[in-house]
Structure 1
Amino acid sequence: MSAPGMDRSNLRTPLKDVTGLGSAKSGTHHFIVQRVTGVALVLLTIWIVGFVLALVHAGDYAHAREMLRHPFAAAWLIAFVVIGFWHAQLGLQVVIEDYVHARWLEIASQLAVKFVCAGAALAGVIAIVRVYIGQ
């Protein structure tokens, strides 16, 4: 006999209700990487703004190209492009996970975002390298 008002059909604990709904391990890593790339982008953006202002005052195309051929400038530009697209992919991944509910569409969207971000980052790196080596 059960006590009045007690529903014996659901005796699951709160822990049992959430078990199997996802790992609590990868979310923390994703959170930390997103924050680290965000901080790196803030610092790199400060440098980029200064660099672009210097390019505006460079005068002519040849001088601007020489500024881009400096190893320090090329390395920081490559870091900016790679980290920027990595950060974008991480952010879009969270948006897709939160708002796309059809599993096939979520997977397709995640793959599309990863390929587009990787391709755009690769194109940016190739462009910077081509300017750096003088082609």
Structure 2
Amino acid sequence: MGMRAPLKSVRGLGSAKEGTTHWWYQKVTAIALIPLFLIALGFFVSLVGAEYTHVRYVLGQPFISLVMLLLIGAMFYHLKLGLQVVIEDYIHTESTKVFLLLLNSFLCAVVGLASALAILKLALGG
């Protein structure tokens, strides 16, 4: 028989040729999150104890709004990729896996868009 597995038992279980891309996206978003988070943290620390109107004014500034939008986009995309890996690795029932993957994508998109809309509302003076 040898060391080779019968073709019928491995068909469809090979590489999907997407693992490297997924891994790179996770690493790139992780690296992008470092400076974005530090900038946002600096702004938030500087706003501790500030009046509500001042906080709205600062978060409405174009640079800060841009940083926040980039942070939100990178953060929720990174979250989606990370949870996808966990679901694919540790959930073995196919129907549960598909449901959780769809739920992961949906929730990350909805919460990310809601956060982005809140920032845009501040930035555009709404």
Larger radius of gyration: 1
Provide the alpha-carbon RMSD of the alignment.
1.9
Structure 1 gap ranges (5+): 1-9
Query: What residue identity is the alignment partner of 2:4?
Result: T
> What is the identity percentage for the equivalent residue pairs of Structure 1 and Structure 2?
39
Cα distance in structure 2, aligned partners of 1:108 and 1:22 = 23
1:108 is matched with: 99
Structure 2 gap ranges (5+): none
Q: Please tell me whether residue 91 in structure 1 is matched to residue 91 in structure 2.
A: no
Residues 30-80 of structure 1, C-alpha deviations (whole Å, 9 max, x = no match): 0000000001111111111101011115x3111111111111100110111
CA positional deviation for 1:106 = 0.4
2:27 to 35, 51, 73: 35
Cα distance in structure 2, aligned partners of 1:20 and 1:133 = 50
2:109 is matched with: 118
SS of alignment partner, residue 113 of structure 1: helix
Deviant stretches of 4+, over 4 Å: 16-19
1:13 is matched with: 4
1:23 is matched with: 15
Higher relative contact order (CA 8 A, sep 6+): 2
Q: TM-score, normalised by structure 2?
A: 0.90
SS of alignment partner, residue 56 of structure 1: coil
SS of alignment partner, residue 62 of structure 1: helix
